Amino acid sequence: MSVDEFKANFAKVINHVKAGENFAVNNNENKEVIGYFLAKQPAQKLKRKLGLFEGKMKIEFKPGFKMTDEEFCGYQPRV
């Protein structure tokens, strides 16, 4: 869909996106895609893999453990 079509039909595009459709928007000159208008996808909770230790160890967090994902992933032990 060109930028001009996108602008002219914005309300209709919004309704289609709400219904789950996705749109690629291209420039009017050479039809190169310049962006996408995508339906919202539900966030997926992924199970963390242990990498090299997968199958060799188990990690268990006790109830009440408090640490953000960022703190956990960025933790650097002091040597």
When comparing pLDDT for 4 and 72, which is higher? 4
- Interval 63-72 mean pLDDT: 80
Residue 63 pLDDT > 80, yes or no?
A: yes
Listed range (3-17, 20-34, 53-67) with the worst mean pLDDT:
53-67
When comparing pLDDT for 77 and 54, which is higher? 54
- Interval 35-43 mean pLDDT: 86
Rounded to 5 degrees, φ, ψ at 26 are: -120, 160
Distance between CA atoms of residues 75 and 66, nearest Å: 14
Cα torsion angle, 66, 67, 69, 70, sign: positive
| Helix, strand, coil tally for the chain in percent (to 5) | 30, 15, 55
- Interval 42-50 mean pLDDT: 71
Task: Of 41, 39, 2, give the one whose Cα is nearest residue 17.
Answer: 39
Domain ranges of the chain: 3-37
